[in-house]
Amino acid sequence: TRGTVTAFAPFDARADAEALRKAMKGLGTDEETVLTILTTRNNAQRQEIASAFKTLFGRDLVDDLKSELTGKLETLMVSLMRPAYIFDAHALKHAIKGAGTNEKVLTEILASRTPAEVQNIKQVYQQEYEADLEDKITGETSGHFQRLLVVLLQGNRDPDVGVDESLVEQDAQVLFRAGELKWGTDEEKFITILGTRSVSHLRRVFDKYMTISGFQIEETIDRETSGDLEKLLLAVVKCIRSVPAYFAETLYYSMKGAGTDDDTLIRVMVSRSEVDLLDIRQEFRKNFAKSLYQMIQKDTSGDYRKALLLLCGGDDD
């Protein structure tokens, strides 16, 4: 893996559980101990700690974290305790719960996860919430945005098994005719091609598209579509090009300007910490002329900052 968080050694779930109990028992909480343990163990180890915690003290670790911590640090620590697919399922459930839908979360998760990951998320969603994720999403979204989400939810992207150049040419022409050459836009062609073709095929299609049209596919999407569909199509294209670059950009914009989008910052740092955060850091440094570490340092504070910096795993300057 290219994650910043890996299995901690030597690992002793019982000793960690005892240290966490001691840190949270009585008056006041030793936040430093809590965040140091939870950000330096991988998810499988955190689950073992939670199990040892229950065995030793008859208490639920997550409940204790919720009652002892507050604000962003609480959100971050509780998020770290969720196994990956439960974490994604939980984020999606909250994105479609209650008044208003958080399209940003739907876009980020469904554009960036692999077909196998999408299948797992759907399964876990069904188990955890006794509901069908696709039904829930179609109930809360509409139009072409909904259609592309449904295509991505099938998790049926073609496998990467070599590229057929004649099909590359054909798809590039179809996209050109569906957008730049047409009065109005044939969104369905964009949805089908971008939602179902293999990653290596689409990378070739983007190159070919540039040759045929003189535009990057992103420029065309920008001109020809709008709103949530545009954001989702762009996210899909960016993830086809490079998932780490997509997340580097997502992190950058979560901290750029006034105020921080902490929900996004936490979601990306937690979900990528064991996957590709090292690659994301590299892309961040390359594209934004500063390191992720420095930006987190400048944009956050207190124990929350300490925990995020530990997850970040180092400075690239």
pLDDT tens column, 85-109:
999 999 999 999 877 899 999 999 9
Flag whether 186 is in a domain: yes
Each residue of 82-117: b (16+ CB within 10 Å) or e? bebbbbbbbbbbebbeeeebbbbbbbbbbbbbeeeb
Dihedral sign, CA of 107, 111, 114, 115? positive
Query: What is the C-alpha to C-alpha distance for residues 152 and 112, in angstroms, rounded to an integer?
Result: 10
Same domain, 67 and 20: yes
Flag whether 229 is in a domain: yes
Query: Which residues touch 184 (CB under 8 Å, ≥6 apart)?
Result: none
**Domain range enclosing 194:** 165-241
Flag whether 300 is in a domain: yes
Confidence of residue 182 (pLDDT cuts 50, 70, 90): confident
Among 110, 128, 153, the domain-final residue is: 153
Whether pLDDT at 27 is above 90: no
Find the CATH number of the domain harbouring 247: 1.10.220.10
**The pLDDT value given to residue 183:** 81
Whether pLDDT at 134 is above 80: yes
Claim: this prediction has a pTM higher than 0.85: yes
Same domain, 195 and 225: yes
Same domain, 215 and 231: yes
Query: What is the C-alpha to C-alpha distance for residues 121 and 175, in angstroms, rounded to an integer?
Result: 30
